[in-house]
Structure 1
């Protein structure tokens, strides 16, 4: 594989379909995007791993939904890894890249850096939020933290909230190619079985704490096709998923050549943040002049920092809040 093909597939999501089994899927490769998202903060390696996994899930899931604005994933727990949050912004124009940003909050004193990263989340929930923008009602789906990994939580979410059998095969970690610095890469496959008919789904599933699993929402040929695809997916190796030495199209052929794989246009993705001075002003517009005074520094300004990208904003307090002097804006 030459360097040109490596660059072409990095930071992209490739949609595909398996015609014989009625399965749809995505392959994602993250390199510069992931490194840029992580470089905004000084996270311990354990937290970087959780952010890397969540960012990869966000890239795969975000591309499956027709977005006019934003999809978010939030993982909240009572452990030292308190919050992992990502946002996926759909492309604004045909051919334009989608944008992803990521952030983590953690308790450094409680963090066990020798433990499995997932164990540091504790009890909590995995949530997907979809906001199609002004004039729409945001959607939110929540499932408990379970299953031993964030990808398992996502699989449970789709079975529980969408009755859509979903499987992820992910790989992520720090890597170093000749002539490059040590940095994070991630890659993975997402597959979803498209049911041929509506099923009557029981209120309680066979999974942990009664949660639904793919087996609870499939039967007949659908179940047989799903099992077949999963057996093949389990043969994917880390180096094939993460790249860059194996092209996604070659991996599809290797895994699913008997199932009629078809690929569609790849979606480029990049690191990007939606913060702006106007958005900060809008978020502060619900406060009175008295409230704004409590936020004002000794230097006579109000400051705000973006948790995602680190952007720093400074404002004249007279221009903020619902009592702001419009002439000073």
Structure 2
């Protein structure tokens, strides 16, 4: 396989469908996107792993829904990893990439070794959909359950959307001969298409902490199809998921050739942040002149840093708040 072929599948999401069953899916590969997300910060290894998993989930889920603007994933807990957040922005036009950003807030002194997921503690997994102007944002929340963020995402879809969903994911640092070590991530998402009628959480949920599981939603032939597809996905290897030597199309044939996999056009993804001086200024517009004065530094400026991309902004305090004295200029 040539380097060009490898690069062609980096930072892409490939939609597919298993024609033998009513199951759709996505294969995602993140390379440069993940590097840009993580190099904005000097995260400890446990936090890097959580951010990588959340960014990969965001790419898979964001491309799988009819998204007009933004999907956000937020993981909040009472452990050392207080917040893991990622956003996926839908492509602005055909052929343009979806944009991903992610960051974490954590207490370095409380971090422990071992499983990164355990750094979160007790908390919740949230999915937020914002379809843009003129729409009401949607938020769905489920408890952290299942031992990984990908398991939490599967629980969310079963509980909140009644859609059986499974993720197989791998991520970590990799190094090609003659190249620098860099982050790579890859994953497969399986999702059963919606049924005409779905159960409620009162119908005898068998999942973790009394939440719905796929077997609570499917029965008969649909349950058999779902079980068969999951058994096939169980055979995937981490090196196949992250690549780059196994193309996503080859992976699908290897895993699901008896399920008649059909692929669609791949969607490129890129690192992208929506922060701007205008947005920072707008967020400060609710504060009084006295509040702004408390935010002003010894250099007589108000500063703000984007947690996602690290962009640094400086403002004349007289241009900020609802009691601003002068109009803003281009120095912000």
TM-score normalised according to structure 1 size: 0.98
**2:136 corresponds to 1:144:** no
- How far the C-alpha of 1:9 sits from its partner, in A, is 0.1
Gapped regions of structure 1 (runs ≥ 5):
none
- The residue that corresponds to 2:316 in the other structure is 316
**2:43 corresponds to 1:43:** yes
- How far the C-alpha of 1:328 sits from its partner, in A, is 4.5
- The residue that corresponds to 1:153 in the other structure is 152
- Summarize the Cα distance change of 1:196–1:125 in structure 2 as closer, same or farther, 3 Å threshold: closer
Equivalence map 1:1-329=2 (5 Å): 1-112=1-112, 114-203=113-202, 204-329=204-329
Contact 2:13–2:59 under 8 Å retained in 1? yes
Deviations 1:127-168 (A, max 9, x none): 000011122111000010111100000000000000000000
Contact 2:159–2:201 under 8 Å retained in 1? no
Contact 1:100–1:273 under 8 Å retained in 2? yes
Question: Which runs of 4 or more aligned residues in structure 1 lie more than 4 Å from their structure 2 counterparts after TM superposition?
Answer: none
> What is the rounded CA distance, in whole Å, between the counterparts of 1:289 and 1:135 in structure 2?
31
Gapped regions of structure 2 (runs ≥ 5):
none
RMSD in angstroms over aligned alpha carbons? 1.1
Deviations 1:170-210 (A, max 9, x none): 01111111121111100010000114431333425111211
Contact 2:29–2:185 under 8 Å retained in 1? yes
> What is the rounded CA distance, in whole Å, between the counterparts of 1:158 and 1:94 in structure 2?
27
TM-score normalised according to structure 2 size: 0.97
Contact 1:99–1:270 under 8 Å retained in 2? yes
Deviations 1:213-270 (A, max 9, x none): 0011111111010001001000111111110010000011111111111111100001
Contact 1:195–1:222 under 8 Å retained in 2? no
- Summarize the Cα distance change of 1:206–1:134 in structure 2 as closer, same or farther, 3 Å threshold: same
Deviations 1:22-69 (A, max 9, x none): 110000000010011000000011110111111110100000112221
> What is the rounded CA distance, in whole Å, between the counterparts of 2:328 and 2:36 in structure 1?
36
Aligned length: 328
